[in-house]
A and B are shown apart, each in its own frame.
Chain A
């Protein structure tokens, strides 16, 4: 069985674990660097990106995560997507710098502007409920990045090689199609390596 980690420094960890298990893989909470070594893929959950980055630095997670991402799939939602971006609007530096894209934090406004909207996600399906909470969006992507979904002309989901990201929270719904899509990516990546 595929073993997929969920970075558990802060944020909605259990919800992702539930969705991953429902998609047929084993889910493990990852709090320490050593726990990365036998994983087939990793989810970086929603939460507060500044708080997560503080803990990533404190426990020297940055380099091991970048190393892990060299050949293993990673899926980030909301704060996780921000951590994966190469560029962040209005900031001089980014975090893991995995996906060739620029993101803008809290781009839809404050919590009172948080919303639900129906999305069409390429390769995943229609009528997907996107739950956007103080959400970021993708301002621009590089040539190798595949745009999976847009909401009002703003990019809200993308795929770059073995990286997947969403500005919304599929883990807060009972719709596991995007998690299933990621589990398939992990499966494919494992077969290629094997």
Chain B
């Protein structure tokens, strides 16, 4: 019997991305640069997060022409973003043969109450999470991969660090708890009990957890790996830098050798100006993408 879209096949796809870098691209040319630099996947977008932030208005799924162009340009997996709760955008991307869908807070949510029931789809999903409650709810809905939300398009790593530390700390707490304490913890976190039970048993999340949102330098990528990320997403950082090719290669190497500080020093030399960052406190509440998701 041949079975497609199983939990193992969907989660396994993310396992194969571990230790790698997933890069945001907006056309075939950027996708080829990313592949050549050693990206494990690309995220096909109409605009990178910092441009979405600058443009304002409603951000939607990318034009299928762009997604198709990227699908045809590279042999590595291609991901694309759908709005939170937008069943049809997700189904359209699945029908196009996209390898992974990001139900993303970077786009304007289509539903302010419900997320997609991701277990219903053959294509796997990645979702953002700031804490273990959010992470567990997404797993409960069928997400096959997680990422920190960070604060996308800011080039500021502080929020991604906060989210990674929060989740890791909460996992350690769950693992240390006795089983009869888990139901109350589930209630407090807003997490499905079964997911916490599995985390306690395995000592880790049942899916891969990448870092995302604000990674702007090779040192940022290595920092997130050191804090326990399984890999990194780099959005605006690469193609908003002065020399994307060199920058992309440097991020890939820093992610692999995240504890080799001499090497990170070498590859951080002469990268040119990274993207200009934004201090989080200058963002109004409504401008904080990480608040989107429930």
Contact = CB atoms under 8 A, between A and B. Distances in A.
A117 B3 CA distance: 7
B6 to A, nearest CB: 5
Interface residues of B, number: 40
By size class, the interface of chain A is 35 or more
B19 interface: yes
A7 B6 CA distance: 27
A105 B123 CA distance: 20
A170 to B, nearest CB: 11
Interface stretch (A45-53, A67-75, A158-166, A183-191): A45-53
A120 B35 CA distance: 35
A179 interface: no
Given A110-B97, A131-B12, A133-B12, A117 B2 contact: yes
Most buried by B among A46, A50, A106, A173: A50
A54 B253 CA distance: 10
Nearest to A171: B15
Interface of A: 8-13, 15, 31, 46-48, 50-51, 54-55, 58, 78-79, 105-106, 110-118, 131-134, 169, 172-173
Interface string B203-222: 00000000000000000000
A51 B94 CA distance: 25
21 contacts: A10-B18, A10-B20, A12-B15, A13-B19, A46-B16, A47-B16, A47-B19, A48-B20, A48-B41, A48-B76, A51-B40, A55-B38, A55-B256, A58-B38, A110-B99, A116-B3, A131-B8, A131-B12, A133-B9, A134-B77, A169-B16
Interface of B: 1-6, 8-10, 12-13, 15-20, 35-41, 75-77, 94, 97-100, 122-124, 249, 252-253, 256-257
Nearest to A130: B2
Nearest to B230: A14
